[in-house]
A and B are shown apart, each in its own frame.
Chain A
Amino acid sequence: MKMNVYVKKRVAVVGAGLTLFRRRMLETPQELAWIAAKRALDQAGLELKDIDCVVSGSAPDAFDGVHLKGEYYSEGAGAIGKPHLRVYVGGGTGVFVPIAAWWHVASGLCRRVLVVAEEKMSSAADPHPQAVFRHIWDPITEKPLNPNLIWIFALEMHRYMHKCRVSKEDIALVSVKNKRNALDNPYAQAGANITVEDVLKSELLVYPVNRLDISPVSDGAAALVMVSEEWARRLTDTPIWVEGIGYTLDTSYWTNRELSFPVYLKNAAEMAYKMAGIERPMKEIDVAEPYDPFDYKELHHLEGLGLAPRCGAAEMTREGVTQRDGDLPVCPSGGLLGVGNPIAAAGLMKVAEIFWQLRGEAGKRQVKKDAVTGLAQAWGDLMQVGTVVIMRR
């Protein structure tokens, strides 16, 4: 295997856990973190005392309504008395948490790491969690216009549709697929049997974005246990190896990007592929969980990851390639569109799903092909960072 970094310790995932993804969960952020952490420990066959370090992630403090929320939920994440790091790269956080955990193990610093992501978005109830984003804009050129994130996604989606000649119908197929996949996910919030027509006829929010093009507001948490090779061998016969990580930034300015293609992701994916020794991702990746907060983003990200030809993801979707029984199953979990979108937890849920898929533990969601190599991805910061994790059985 070709590697571009020196890795002292090989890193494996040996357990994963999720909470339900729901709006207005009664549990506190600490309790959500604990539920996921405990389930991941249980699957790994470890207790909290066996954990050397805790790495956690969560998106803006303003969602949970507790400043320094990483410190606040840290007890539920099992971090008291241990080295703890909270990482935050906006929407990309969920996949960045296992990347940061990977550093901890690969460097030799820690051998058994508890990895937790938590988000309780529905606390920010009035007027809407979107208001958290009121101050992310350039204060001189953008803030005076009072932009909303959905405006910007809409501009990107429209540009992508225009450059790649992709129709709303093709994009809606992603929402239909992911919501249907989520019907088989016991943690999912928004599983549904809908049609393309349902998506097109749902409320038009910001042209060309309709309500069913968007993932919901959610509360939830996800967790993994990541360990060094010697511990992986001791704990399980089926460790899932983290073989590649990638994360890179694009410019902070929307105005300076070619919106139809995610350069932020192309670079991150190349970093991860190089580390994992992958030269032909379309042939070598068996199952993928690209970030799908909007349906067009799945297509956009498949192209950025090199898992679809440029402007070719819509055709792949139309032909059924991305269905669970297709050649490249995409978002078999149901994705953010179907499972829900508690930001950081949603990204880590994708990594958990790939872990379960590669172990053959995905139950009714198990993809048809024998999946050996999988990829999870998220997107964030000022919509400029790509985060990628590649795992192998």
Chain B
Amino acid sequence: MRDVKPQIREIEMEIKAYHYTPGPLGLRWLEGIKKGIIMAAKCRKCGNIFIPPKIYCPKCFSEVEDLVELREKPYLASYTIIYRDFNGERLSTPVIVGLVRFKGVDGGLIHYIEGPVEKLAIGASLEPVFRSERRGSITDIEHFRLV
């Protein structure tokens, strides 16, 4: 009776590529990372310093125009250890991913963590390790190293 089989057709995703924009302040922030500098946005009105930078202050909703360089070393606010890859395959070397925060700065960055395992602890001090070839992306930072 049911001689019409359900059809399975290969369906392409609706969009092949997205072109995202980082925003005017985000663009300057990425240019900083390309130069090996991590900056944060600073609100003139309420003094809030935050990452990632945006043209408005998430705290007081005012316009934000300034970036300040973060000179102090960041710290590890939390971390996790990844044992399997996206496809479920066991990784030969587990990957550490951490929540990287800067003292006195709202927000943070999720990034890879490397360094001596005995130093791996919440609160540990970190420093960014930049790639030699940089293109203005968050991955210009290869990882944060435990110090």
With a cutoff of 8 Å between Cβ atoms, the chain B residues found around residue A24 in the complex are 19, 21
The proximity string for A residues 28-63 relative to B, scoring 1 for CB distances below 8 Å and 0 otherwise, is 101100110110010000011000000000000010
* A38 contacts B17, C-beta separation under 8 Å: no
Q: A132-B15, A144-B9 in contact; A48/B20 too (CB < 8 A)?
A: no
The proximity string for B residues 23-34 relative to A, scoring 1 for CB distances below 8 Å and 0 otherwise, is 110110000000
Q: Is B56 at the interface (CB under 8 A from chain A)?
A: yes
* B56 contacts A34, C-beta separation under 8 Å: yes
* A122 contacts B19, C-beta separation under 8 Å: yes
* Whole-angstrom CA separation of A125 from B61 in the bound complex: 30
* Whole-angstrom CA separation of A27 from B63 in the bound complex: 13
* A126 contacts B15, C-beta separation under 8 Å: yes
Interface-side segment among A74-82, A102-110, A246-254, A361-369: A74-82
The proximity string for B residues 49-78 relative to A, scoring 1 for CB distances below 8 Å and 0 otherwise, is 000001110101101000000000000000
Chain B's closest residue to A136 (CB) is: B14
Q: Is A26 at the interface (CB under 8 A from chain B)?
A: yes
Q: A62-B15, A65-B18, A134-B14 in contact; A26/B23 too (CB < 8 A)?
A: yes
* Whole-angstrom CA separation of A371 from B146 in the bound complex: 67
Interface residues on A, range: 20 to 34
Q: Is B16 at the interface (CB under 8 A from chain A)?
A: yes
Complex interface residues of chain A between 8 and 40 (CB less than 8 A to chain B) = 24-28, 30-31, 34-35, 37-38
* B15 contacts A131, C-beta separation under 8 Å: yes
* B17 contacts A27, C-beta separation under 8 Å: no
* A28 contacts B21, C-beta separation under 8 Å: yes
* Whole-angstrom CA separation of A125 from B19 in the bound complex: 6
* Whole-angstrom CA separation of A268 from B76 in the bound complex: 56
* B17 contacts A126, C-beta separation under 8 Å: yes
* Whole-angstrom CA separation of A288 from B76 in the bound complex: 57
Q: Is A124 at the interface (CB under 8 A from chain B)?
A: yes
The proximity string for B residues 98-134 relative to A, scoring 1 for CB distances below 8 Å and 0 otherwise, is 0000000000000000000000000000000000000
Residues in B lying within 8 Å of A, measured CB to CB: 7, 9, 11-12, 14-24, 26-27, 54-56, 58, 60-61, 63
Chain A to chain B contacts (Cβ below 8 Å), 20 pairs: A26-B23, A26-B27, A27-B23, A28-B20, A28-B26, A28-B54, A30-B23, A38-B63, A62-B15, A76-B56, A78-B61, A123-B18, A124-B18, A127-B15, A127-B16, A132-B14, A132-B15, A134-B12, A135-B11, A144-B9
The 7 A-B residue pairs with the shortest CB-CB distance in the complex, in nearest-first order: A65-B18, A126-B17, A34-B56, A125-B19, A48-B61, A28-B23, A134-B14
